[in-house]
C-alpha cells in the first residue's frame, strides 16, 4: 500500500514550435489528484487547461509539441514510457471525456457499434458479451431504454445523451482516473446539472479520481474538492474549494469570482466590482517577466513585472497563492486599487479607461 497520490504532476511544461518562435502553453505547473476526489483546473480561455490534461497521456503531437517534467500515475512515470506502453494507460486506467461529443462520436456508425468496439479493444470477449456490457453501460449513465436504443445512430440522441454515451465509453475499462475536459460546455443548464450529478455518482461507485477542466466557477463550487487556478500556463492559486471561495487570495481568482452572477461581498467586507476581466492574456510566444497577470491587475506595482512568476506562498494548509503582496504578509484586498506609490503596471486596457470594459471582458469557453 502506497501513500503516493493517484496522479502526481511536477514541473509540467508543454511548448510548441511555431513560425513566431516557441509558444509556451504550460510553464512548470504542479498538482496532484487523489483517488476518490475531484480536482478542477480553472481559468479563462487560453490559460493552458486543455493542453495540461492532453499532456498527461501524450495526446500532444511531438513535434511540434514538447513535453517535459514529471507525470507519475500510481507511482509510475508516464513521460518515460514508449508510445505503445503509454497507450495501455490512455483510455484504460486513464480515460478522457472531451468537450464536444458531436465531434467525438462517429455519425456513420451506431452508438452500440462504437461502444462494442471500445469494449473489445480492451477485453477478450465475444460480440454478444460486449453487446450486453454496452447495454449495461448505457443504463449506468442514464440512457432510457438502452436495449432498444443501442442500435440507434448519434444523430438520434440529444446533446446530453451524446455526452452520456461518451462517458459510457470512458467507463469501459473502469478507469482509475477520469479526465473530463469541459464536458458540459455545449449543454443547457438543466442537462449540465444532470451530467455533473452523474459524474459525481460514478466517482463514488467506481472510486475514481476525477480531473475536471472548466472555466465556470459555479460548476467548480458544485463538484470540486480542490481547485487549481491557471493563468497563461502558470498556477496563480490552489486550495480546497471552501478555502478559495471563502478567502480568494489572488487578484485573478477574485476577478473570476466577480464574473459569477450574484457574487456578493469579498473578503473582509470588500465588494468586488461585477463583470469580466479587462484586457487579454499575454502572447504565449512573448511572455512577460514577473507575474503573468500583472498587466491586467489593479493591484500591480512595478515589482510585479520583474523577475519570474512569484513563488507560491502558503496561506493555510493546502491553500497557496503566487503573488508578491503575500511575500511580506500583505493582502491585496487592503491595498489601494492603484497599488502603492509606484506606478501601476498597465497594458493600456485598464477598466478605468472605459467604464464598460470589465463587462465586455467576459470569460469565454476554451
pLDDT score at 212: 95
pLDDT score at 206: 86
For the chain, where do the domains classified as CATH 3.40.50.300 start and end? Answer: 7-228
Mean pLDDT of the chain: 84
Distance between CA atoms of residues 116 and 119, nearest Å: 5
Q: Which residues of 158-172 are buried (b: 16+ CB within 10 A; e: fewer)?
A: eebbbbbbbbbbbbb
More confident residue, 333 or 167: 167
| C-alpha triplet 141, 96, 7: angle, nearest 5° | 115
Q: Is the pLDDT of residue 37 over 80?
A: yes
Task: Tell me the mean pLDDT in the region 105-123.
Answer: 90
Task: Tell me the mean pLDDT in the region 167-173.
Answer: 87
pLDDT score at 349: 38
CB 288 within 8 A of CB 305: yes
Encode pLDDT of 275-328 as tens digits.
Answer: 668 889 999 999 999 999 999 998 888 999 999 999 999 998 889 999 999 987
Q: Residues with Cβ < 8 Å from 242, sequence gap 6 or more?
A: none
Encode pLDDT of 49-89 as tens digits.
Answer: 999 999 998 889 888 999 999 999 999 999 988 888 888 88
Q: Which CATH code, of 3.40.30.160, 3.40.50.300, 3.30.70.980, 3.30.260.10, is assigned to 7-228? A: 3.40.50.300
Encode pLDDT of 88-105 as tens digits.
Answer: 888 789 999 887 767 778
Grouping H, G, I as helix, E, B as strand and the rest as coil, residue 69 is: strand
Distance between CA atoms of residues 10 and 55, nearest Å: 12
pLDDT score at 104: 77
Q: Residues with Cβ < 8 Å from 126, sequence gap 6 or more?
A: none
CB 175 within 8 A of CB 93: yes
pLDDT band at 274 (very low <50, low <70, confident <90, very high): low
Q: Is the pLDDT of residue 170 over 90?
A: no
pLDDT score at 275: 61
pLDDT score at 182: 86
Q: Is the pLDDT of residue 265 over 70?
A: no
Encode pLDDT of 197-212 as tens digits.
Answer: 888 888 988 889 999 9
- Residue 52 Cα distances to 21, 115, 141, 229, angstroms: 20, 27, 27, 12
Could you tell me what percent of the chain has a pLDDT over 70? Answer: 85
Task: Tell me the mean pLDDT in the region 161-174.
Answer: 88
pLDDT score at 258: 86
pLDDT score at 267: 47
Q: Is the pLDDT of residue 342 over 50?
A: no
* Sign of torsion over alpha carbons 119, 94, 189, 241: positive
pLDDT band at 346 (very low <50, low <70, confident <90, very high): very low
pLDDT band at 134 (very low <50, low <70, confident <90, very high): very high
pLDDT score at 128: 94
pLDDT score at 273: 56
Q: Residues with Cβ < 8 Å from 155, sequence gap 6 or more?
A: 107
Whose CA is closest to 214, among 7, 47, 40? Answer: 40
Could you tell me what percent of the chain has a pLDDT over 90? Answer: 51
Task: Tell me the mean pLDDT in the region 208-221.
Answer: 91
pLDDT score at 336: 52
Distance between CA atoms of residues 278 and 346, nearest Å: 11
Amino acid at each position: 500500500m502506497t501513500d503516493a497520490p493517484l496522479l502526481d504532476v511536477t514541473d509540467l511544461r508543454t511548448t510548441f514550435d511555431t513560425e513566431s518562435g516557441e509558444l509556451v502553453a504550460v510553464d512548470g505547473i504542479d498538482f496532484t489528484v487523489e483517488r476518490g476526489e475531484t480536482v478542477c483546473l480553472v481559468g479563462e480561455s487560453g490559460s493552458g487547461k486543455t493542453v495540461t490534461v492532453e499532456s498527461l497521456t501524450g495526446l500532444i503531437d511531438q513535434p511540434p509539441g514538447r513535453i517535459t517534467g514529471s507525470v507519475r500515475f500510481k507511482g509510475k512515470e508516464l513521460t518515460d514510457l514508449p508510445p505503445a506502453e503509454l497507450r495501455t494507460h490512455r483510455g484504460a486506467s486513464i480515460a478522457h471525456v472531451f468537450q464536444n461529443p458531436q465531434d467525438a462520436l462517429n455519425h456513420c456508425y451506431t452508438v452500440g457499434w462504437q461502444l462494442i468496439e471500445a469494449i473489445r479493444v480492451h477485453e477478450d470477449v465475444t460480440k454478444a458479451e460486449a453487446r450486453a456490457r454496452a447495454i449495461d453501460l448505457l443504463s449506468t449513465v442514464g440512457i432510457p431504454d438502452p436495449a432498444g436504443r443501442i442500435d440507434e445512430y448519434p444523430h438520434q440522441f440529444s446533446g446530453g445523451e451524446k455526452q452520456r454515451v461518451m462517458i459510457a465509453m470512458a467507463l469501459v475499462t473502469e478507469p482509475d482516473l477520469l479526465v473530463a475536459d469541459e464536458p458540459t460546455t455545449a449543454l443547457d443548464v438543466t442537462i449540465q446539472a444532470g451530467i455533473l450529478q452523474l459524474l459525481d455518482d460514478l466517482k463514488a461507485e467506481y472510486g475514481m479520481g476525477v480531473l475536471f477542466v472548466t472555466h465556470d466557477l459555479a460548476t467548480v463550487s458544485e463538484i470540486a474538492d480542490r481547485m487549481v487556478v491557471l493563468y497563461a500556463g502558470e498556477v496563480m492559486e490552489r486550495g480546497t474549494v471552501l478555502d478559495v471561495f471563502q478567502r480568494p487570495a489572488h487578484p485573478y481568482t477574485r476577478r473570476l469570482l466577480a464574473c459569477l452572477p450574484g457574487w456578493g461581498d469579498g473578503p473582509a467586507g470588500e465588494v468586488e466590482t461585477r463583470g469580466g476581466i479587462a484586457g487579454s492574456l499575454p502572447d504565449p510566444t512573448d511572455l512577460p517577466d514577473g507575474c503573468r497577470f500583472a498587466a491586467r491587475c489593479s493591484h500591480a506595482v512595478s515589482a510585479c513585472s520583474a523577475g519570474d512568476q512569484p513563488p507560491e506562498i502558503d496561506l493555510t494548509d493546502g491553500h497557496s497563492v503566487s503573488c508578491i503582496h503575500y511575500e511580506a504578509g500583505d493582502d491585496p484586498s487592503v491595498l489601494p486599487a492603484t497599488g502603492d506609490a509606484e506606478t501601476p503596471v498597465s497594458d493600456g486596457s485598464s477598466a478605468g479607461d472605459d467604464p464598460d470594459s470589465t463587462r465586455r471582458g467576459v470569460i469565454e469557453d476554451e
